[in-house]
Amino acid sequence: MTSATLREALSRATDTVDAAVGRGVLAEAGRRIVAQLGDGPYLVVADENTWALGGERLTEVLVEAGAAVADPLIFPGRPVLYASYDNCVTIKEAMGDALPIALGSGTLNDLVKLAAFELGRDYVAVGTAASMDGYTGAGAPMSADGVKVTKNCKAPAVVIMDLDIVAAAPSWMTASGYGDLAAKIPGGADWILADVTGVEPIDGAVWDMVQSGVSSALSRPDELAAGNPDAFDGLVEGLCLSGLAMQAFGGTRPASGAEHYFSHLWELAHLGADWDPPLSHGFKVAMGSLAMCAFYEALLERDLSQVDLAAVAAARQPW
C-alpha cells in the first residue's frame, strides 16, 4: 500500500521510485521490484534473524513475479552485525551480476546501500524494524579504520515495509525509531531559526513532508511498545517520509538538527559501541533531542531585547 502522502513524496524524490508501507505488503514485493528494476537476478542480503522473519517468503514472491534469485548471503545473527567496510566488501564480492536486496534494518541497509553504489547498481530495502529514518535516505554511515563517517551513495530504488514484520521487532528497535522521528521536532525548530536568520530558507513542501504527520505518528507510544501492527503505520511512514524529504531537499536539514550532532560526537567516541546490542543511533538522537528542547526552553526564558548583536558577533569563535 502506498498512501497519497507517500506518492507525493516519491514524486519529489531523486532515487526512490516506489515504496509500500502496510500490513502484509511483503506479498507485493516481487511484483513491485520486478516492475521497477526488471527480472534480476537478485541477491537477498540478510542476517540469520532477519532471514527467519521473511527471507523465504521474499524469495517466493520474487520467483512468482518471474525474477531470478541467487543464493542468499546470510550473515550470522550473533554478534550483532557491524557497519564496517569489511562487511561491505563481503557483500560486493557476493553480488556477482545481481541487484542486492537488503532484508533487515539500519546496518544491513547501510552496508547494502554502499555496496550497490560502489558497483553502480540500484538496490532494494525490505525493512524489518521501525528503527531509524535511513531506509529512504541517501548516504551510509560506515566505520573504516576505527572512524565512523557517512559515505555518499544513493537511496534504494524500492522500499518495502511490512508492518506485521516490523511490529515483531524487538521493542528497543521500535523505541530507537521513535526517538529518531521525535528528533524532527527540535530539528524543525533549528530550521525555523535558520530561516528567520537568513541562513537556510524553509522549503514549504519539504517541511510538510516531514512535519505534518509527526505529532500523530508519535501519539501511540503504548501500542507501539506492545507491538500492535496497526499502530506502526504513522511511525513507519514518518520515518520513510524523512528520508524522502532529504532526497527532495538534497541535504539532511529537513530531518536533522543540532540534536544529531550529539549522536555524531558520541559515535566518534564509540559511546555504547561495546554494548550488546550497541547503543543505537535513535537512542543517542533522542538524548540529543531532550538536550536541545531544554536549550530552547532556557533560551525562550531569556530577555534577548537588550543583546548587543555586534558584540556577540565579534566574540564568535572561528570554529
Q: Model's pTM, two decimal places?
A: 0.92
- The answer to whether position 215 is within a domain reads no
Q: Where does the chain have alpha helices with state H?
A: 4-12, 29-37, 48-64, 85-95, 106-118, 163-166, 171-182, 184-196, 204-211, 214-217, 221-226, 232-249, 258-268, 281-300, 309-314
At residue 12, what is the residue type? R
Residue 198 lies in a domain: no
Report if residue 27 sits inside a domain.
Answer: yes
Pairing of strands 140-144, 147-151: antiparallel
In a domain, 292, yes or no: no
Q: Which residues of 128-141 are buried (b: 16+ CB within 10 A; e: fewer)?
A: bbbbbbbbbbbbbb
**146: in domain:** yes
Any domain includes 74: yes
- 31 assigned to some structural domain: yes
Number of domains within the chain: 1
In a domain, 212, yes or no: no
CB within 8 A of 100, min separation 6: which ones? Answer: 42, 43, 44, 45, 91, 112, 115, 116, 121, 123, 124
Cα gap 186→299, rounded to integer Å: 13
Q: In tens digits, what is the pLDDT along the chain, a chain of 319 residues?
A: 568 889 999 999 999 999 999 999 999 999 999 999 999 999 999 999 999 999 999 999 999 999 999 999 999 999 888 888 999 999 999 999 999 999 999 899 999 999 999 999 999 999 999 999 989 999 888 887 777 788 889 999 999 999 999 999 999 999 999 999 999 999 999 999 999 989 999 999 999 999 999 999 999 999 999 999 999 999 999 999 999 999 999 999 999 999 999 998 998 888 998 888 889 999 999 999 999 999 999 999 999 888 898 998 899 888 7
d(C-alpha 259, C-alpha 198), whole Å: 21
Q: What is the CATH number of the domain that holds 87?
A: 3.40.50.1970
Residue-number span of the structural domain to which 10 is assigned:
4-166
CA dist 231 → 81, 164, 226 (Å): 28, 11, 9
C-alpha separations of 290 from 75, 83, 260 in Å: 35, 27, 11
The answer to whether 70 touches 39, Cβ cutoff 8 Å, is no
